Amino acid sequence: MPRVYNFSAGPAMLPTEVLEASAKALLDYQGKGFGIAECSHRGKEFDGVVDEAIARCKTLLGVGDSHDVLFLQGGATQLFTTIAMQFTAGKTVDYVTTGEWGKKAAGAAKEVGAKVNIAATSETTNFDRTPAVADWKLTPDAGYLHVCSNETVHGHRLADLPTHDNLIVDASSEFMSRPHPMERIALLYGGAQKNLGPSGLVLAVVRKDLYARIPEKGLPKLFSFKAQAENKSMINTPPTFSIYILLEVFRWLERQGGLAKVEQVNAAKAKMIYDAVDNSGGYYVGTIFDKAQRSHMNVTFKLPSEEKTDLFVKEAAKLGMVALKGYRTVGGIRASIYNAMPTEGCAALAKFMGEFKARNP
């Protein structure tokens, strides 16, 4: 069966090599007669997987002893909830809500009783941009500043992260799509299902000094990042097979040449589709206010009508390009082109865009 070009926003495409290696390990792990999902998380096989995954993650991110690498459960949504439960230090915390995900993270923080200041938002323009950092209304001495570095639904990103003593970054939909400036990040986290692996698993890279803020009473141990770090993310049974797939993704990323190389490839991939938008004489219209903020992962644009949009999605699917329909609040097309999307997939979409326009003026 040939694999299609799958533009799903998440769960999303994974590299074929990763799937093949993972499928093999699922059936039989290193000739042991059992698969990697069939052995104890306390045994030496899985312990080796976790150790290697932590080490490779740190190498890819270029981060040393200052941060811990955690493999947590419950998705990014559970994470941004438990983050607000343990790292506010009792202070006001700043959130930038420039998309659905930033807004949901701020909402979750309010739900658990955090004092939330919305430092910047673009809700009145349907989240089509990030206001200039100079215009953010930051709280002096805030507990932390939370940003979503790539807004998956709308298709824009923070090309440069702001400087802040305690910066928390939801990087779900661009995790390891480019280097992350870890020396400026207190906590980097993301659901695996966009760019790194299967859903349910969250990768969190946390600066250890944050642990001092964890309240002594009221926070269940299961949610404590410190307790998880002390237990190598195994307070209870972790999602072992998902972590194995993540390890294969890390190995694959290293074979690609690391994150700086991956970033170049991703920029070139995104450019192909944005060029097809910008050179269409206004037939395709980008949805992001400022071109410099366009996402390299989730490319969003509109066609002249709903009918043409539906036809575009249908015809593309027939040609093996699936899951192009935009998010319901945005409409239009969203092409998610994470690390695993080959350059050929972006070239095929760009070519199709030209042909479609010619056939449907």
Ligand X SMILES: *Cc1c(COP(=O)(O)O)cnc(C)c1O
Which of 10/345 has CB closer to ligand X? 10
Residues in contact with ligand X, counted by CB under 6 A, come to a total of: 13
290 is catalytic: no
Under the binding rule (CB under 6 A), the answer on residue 191 touching ligand X is yes
- Helices H, strands E: what count in the chain? 9, 14
13 touching ligand X, by CB under 6 A? no
> Which entry of 68, 94, 101, 269 is annotated as an active-site residue?
101
Of 98, 121, 152, 336, the one binding ligand X by CB under 6 A: 152
Show contacts with ligand X in window 87-106 (CB under 6 A): 101
Binds ligand X by CB under 6 A, chosen from 81, 82, 121, 172: 172
Q: Which residues of 70-80 are buried (b: 16+ CB within 10 A; e: fewer)?
A: bbbbebbebbb
Helices 240-255 and 44-61, axial angle in degrees (round to 10): 40
In the annotation, is 194 catalytic?
yes
Looking at the Cβ atoms of 45 and 238, the one nearer to ligand X is 238
Question: Does residue 335 sit in helix, strand or coil?
Answer: strand
Among 69-77, 179-187, 241-249, 265-273, which window interacts with ligand X (CB under 6 A)?
A: 69-77
* Distances, alpha carbon 271 to alpha carbons 210, 232, 265, 266, 314, in Å: 38, 40, 10, 8, 24
Query: Is there a contact between 316 and 324 (Cβ–Cβ < 8 Å)?
Result: yes
Across 96-115, b (16+ Cβ under 10 Å) vs e yields: bbbbbbbbbbbebbeeeebe
Q: How far is the CB of 201 from ligand X (least distance, A)?
A: 9
Nearer to ligand X, 129 or 208 (CB): 129
User: Which phi and psi (to 5°) does residue 143 adopt?
Assistant: -60, -45
Q: Is 170 a catalytic residue?
A: yes
Residue labelled with tokens 């996402």: 295
Q: Catalytic site residues?
A: 101, 170, 194
Please report, as ranges, the residues that interact with ligand X according to CB under 6 A. 10, 75-77, 101, 148, 152, 170, 172-173, 191, 194, 199
